[in-house]
Amino acid sequence: MSSGTTELAWFKSSYSGTQGDDCVEVAIAEQAIHVRDSKDLARPAFTVGRESWTSFVGFTSAL
């Protein structure tokens, strides 16, 4: 995991499955949004810029 991501306030996405099989967590930071798979914390989180995250959420909301 990249340096500093353990101090972030992670929360489970409202779009994650209720069965516990689709567990995406996000953490909002001043400059970026961090995303990780809560079932596999050995896998590094990735970071997305705020504008890109807004576009992504807007796109997925329209589906």
Tens digit of pLDDT per residue, the chain (63 long)? Answer: 444 566 899 998 776 666 766 788 899 999 899 999 888 889 999 999 999 999 998 998 887
**Strands 46-49, 11-12: parallel, antiparallel or unpaired by DSSP?**
unpaired
Q: Residue 49's domain spans which residues?
A: 5-61
What is the per-residue pLDDT for 43?
Answer: 92
Total tally of structural domains belonging to the chain:
1
What is the per-residue pLDDT for 4?
Answer: 58
As a whole number of angstroms, the distance between CA 54 and CA 60 comes to 10
What is the per-residue pLDDT for 63?
Answer: 78
Q: Give the chain's largest Cα–Cα span.
A: 34
Amino acid in position 42: A
Q: What are the CA-CA distances from residue 50 to residues 22, 34, 38, 55 (Å)?
A: 23, 10, 21, 9
